[in-house]
Structure 1
């Protein structure tokens, strides 16, 4: 089983994360930000990664540290669970429709973190979550997990749908990329011999 646990404690946040890459999409998520919890639950359910997240952050200041550090901790847990990345498909992509919204997500578990983000919101908040924090989560997650990650809303109007299609697209792309390729289960998917 490809599993990992991460405990990240700072003066701003206290976070415990556990992942099982070969799970069923079971989740237990609590960050203190309801809409963020909902998005992380979507990430787990549609990637089939079992995800436990318990975040206590300085929400009396704002959401920045809570969202950023949760992205880092979840990314670190996935990177640790992947180990040397032997046998994985490495690449994944998804078109994620949600009513009027369509988001494209493509990623490479390359060890070279990079985010291209082309998603725009017309509201400052969804529920109690600041919409500017979505990009920050994806950036923090990609950096910590070692992903080259491209996320683009091709069209959409409803802010909830835009956010959710991005998370579901990430989930589906991750699901493909972390799967073991039965034709190459014993090798690293790179001509360099390492990722």
Structure 2
């Protein structure tokens, strides 16, 4: 069974193309025009072992918000489509990931019910801009929570992200993406003992 999906979305603010293969090896081709976000999506692909292609053209002459948001929308839709009926998966994933001084826990439930809880980030992170030097487009720290909320909503998963420690803005964001990646990887992995959909309702 192929767990792949290709989704395209075009608005007046962006044009987004996403391809996913849940059973890949973590290969990625990422181009959004927001360098730091490219780095985060590449990190997600590598540590989730999801093969990921993302090509986004957005109104980065305004800022990075629409580009990042719309990419997250399409990524969530692609993950949901690739999961299919979710038969045979583990459903739940939990990961605690360090990056030097930063430590983040992410928990995923492929529940069919979109929900996101994001806690623990220092309040100042919302106002930090990462990257954007030499004419590039910066990534505002407030986008991180928005990305996870958007992915969770469109992928129909429950996602809890808890920042437990951290100081350096780059590390704080990257650790969240890595923790989410590892939790998602476990949640969508096949369980050899599971013969159907892992729910008492019979559907997710």
What's the counterpart of residue 193 of structure 1? 202
Alignment match of 1:181 (pick from 191, 195, 199) = 191
Distance (whole Å) between structure 1 residues aligned to residue 149 and residue 71 of structure 2: 11
Whether the 8 Å contact between 2:9 and 2:15 is mirrored in structure 1 is: yes
What's the counterpart of residue 162 of structure 1? 172
Whether the 8 Å contact between 2:40 and 2:174 is mirrored in structure 1 is: yes
Whether the 8 Å contact between 1:22 and 1:48 is mirrored in structure 2 is: yes
Distance (whole Å) between structure 2 residues aligned to residue 9 and residue 72 of structure 1: 11
Q: Secondary structure at the match of 1:86?
A: coil
For structure 2, list consecutive stretches of 5 or more residues without a partner in the other structure: 132-137
What's the counterpart of residue 35 of structure 1? 36
Residues matched between the structures, number: 194
1:72 and 2:73 matched: yes
Distance (whole Å) between structure 2 residues aligned to residue 178 and residue 22 of structure 1: 9
Q: Secondary structure at the match of 2:15?
A: strand
Q: Secondary structure at the match of 2:184?
A: helix
What's the counterpart of residue 106 of structure 2? 105
Deviations 1:38-57 (A, max 9, x none): 00000000000000000001
Distance (whole Å) between structure 2 residues aligned to residue 129 and residue 62 of structure 1: 9
Cα RMSD (Å) of the superposition? Answer: 0.9
Whether the 8 Å contact between 2:128 and 2:169 is mirrored in structure 1 is: no
What's the counterpart of residue 9 of structure 1? 10
Whether the 8 Å contact between 1:67 and 1:136 is mirrored in structure 2 is: no
Distance (whole Å) between structure 2 residues aligned to residue 145 and residue 25 of structure 1: 19
**What does residue range 124-139 of structure 1 map to in structure 2 within 5 Å?**
124-127=128-131, 128-139=138-149
Distance (whole Å) between structure 1 residues aligned to residue 168 and residue 128 of structure 2: 13
The CA deviation at 1:111 is 1.1
For structure 1, list consecutive stretches of 5 or more residues without a partner in the other structure: none
The CA deviation at 1:163 is 0.4
Normalising by structure 2, we get a TM-score of 0.93
Distance (whole Å) between structure 2 residues aligned to residue 84 and residue 69 of structure 1: 25
